[in-house]
Amino acid sequence: MSYLWTLAAGALTSGGTAGVTSGSTNSIVFTPTTSGLGAELITAKEVNAAGLQSTAASSGAIDVVKAPSISFAAAFITGGNTLALNLTGDAGLKYSCSATNGTFATAASGTFPAPGNQLNINTASTGTRKTLTVTCIETNNLTGTPQGPAATASATILPFPSAVISAPANATTGRTYTASVSARAGSQYAWSIDAGGAIVSAGGASGALSGDGSTNSIQFTSGGVGTRVISCTETNAAGDSGFGTVNVNVVPATVAPVADLSQRPHVTGGLDNEGGVTAGSSYNAFATIHAANPANTYSWTIVGGVIANGSGSCANLSGCTTATSTPGTQGTTSIQYIPNAVPLTPGTASVLLSCSEPTRPAIAAPMAPPRSEPTRRR
């Protein structure tokens, strides 16, 4: 006896149409070439020595499974949103899917075609980049086996953009400062500043990425006195945007005080007409200020005398009078001082008063030597 095998689709890879006889069994090895519900049909006939063929025996329709086709609708998704998965396979066969770093908003298993040929995957909000992975298989309708090869698709889950700006709380007019945000790979940045200032760094409104990729920054001019409003929008690779803003208080530049001793009493005649003072007497000293910042303090020091009303710091109201001015206008700060008694040395200063403003050098006003008694010219 011999045998005759036929396939509806596929290729015989061992034994050919005659098959291979081993003992009481004749068999073939075949490779399906078409997948689908009932895609394969195998028949076999017995042939006697006279060439007479028996009635064909049939395997019945055989389901042929394969790896389904899957892909995400986008390569990136912001955490907390839903991403569509494109899923196609052989109509009538079953599918089953699983997810990592995501949950199914629609059924993870069913019969092809999937509704709209898509499944929806929910993602959770995240502070770091994560990978969303979905794996799907195709199975037959009877026992669920055999299973076709698994198909896998991946997308990147991104944190929601949040442009938190780092910038100085206070700035001085006419100077250049830096503002920055933490940078994320794949994100784009758009900076702006109100009309009082200007972005002057390379990259302009797009900012500049640091060498290690950790920050995106701009340099800006502070402009005039007032409030600078700096804004930054971060747009991630998924197309979602986050907005941040910060205010910078711009104050006038500090100006060195100018000592003015013209208001002290003068003794007529002798060297007093040249600015002399009397030891042990109390005098006022004034310094002209611009009060660029109401928080500034003005510190006084003296050589050759004592400050009668305290330490001489306007931060301490027992030290000197409060600065009496408003931002951008002139005012005064003052102390009382008492010269020491020192030997008279004509033409030299025995008392030296100094007043300093923050970040500026002290200015000094020397006076002629004090005396215990006025000296008069003859």
For position 78, which CATH number holds? Answer: 2.60.40.1080
- The answer to whether residue 48 scores a pLDDT higher than 80 is yes
- The answer to whether residue 328 scores a pLDDT higher than 90 is no
pLDDT category of residue 245 using cuts at 50, 70 and 90:
very high
> Could you tell me what percent of the chain has a pLDDT over 90?
51
Please indicate, yes or no, if residue 163 is contained in any of the structural domains: no
pLDDT category of residue 313 using cuts at 50, 70 and 90:
very low
pLDDT category of residue 20 using cuts at 50, 70 and 90:
very high
Domain limits at 200? 170-251
pLDDT score at 319: 38
pLDDT score at 334: 63
pLDDT score at 332: 58
- The answer to whether residue 311 scores a pLDDT higher than 50 is no
- Are residues 338 and 264 part of one domain? yes
Range scoring the smallest mean pLDDT among 35-39, 132-136, 217-221, 312-316: 312-316
* Overall pTM surpassing 0.75 (yes/no): no
pLDDT category of residue 279 using cuts at 50, 70 and 90:
confident
- Are residues 276 and 213 part of one domain? no
Please indicate, yes or no, if residue 378 is contained in any of the structural domains: no
- Are residues 361 and 262 part of one domain? yes
Please indicate, yes or no, if residue 375 is contained in any of the structural domains: no
Whether cis (ω within 30° of 0) applies to the bond prior to 265 is: no
What confidence tens digit (pLDDT) does each residue in 96-141 have? 999 999 999 999 999 999 888 999 999 999 999 999 999 999 988 7
Both tokens of 317, joined, read 């109201």
- Are residues 362 and 263 part of one domain? yes
Please indicate, yes or no, if residue 373 is contained in any of the structural domains: no
**Residue that is last in its domain, among 191, 216, 251:** 251
- Are residues 118 and 86 part of one domain? yes
pLDDT category of residue 13 using cuts at 50, 70 and 90:
confident
- Are residues 79 and 154 part of one domain? yes
Number of domains comprising the chain: 4
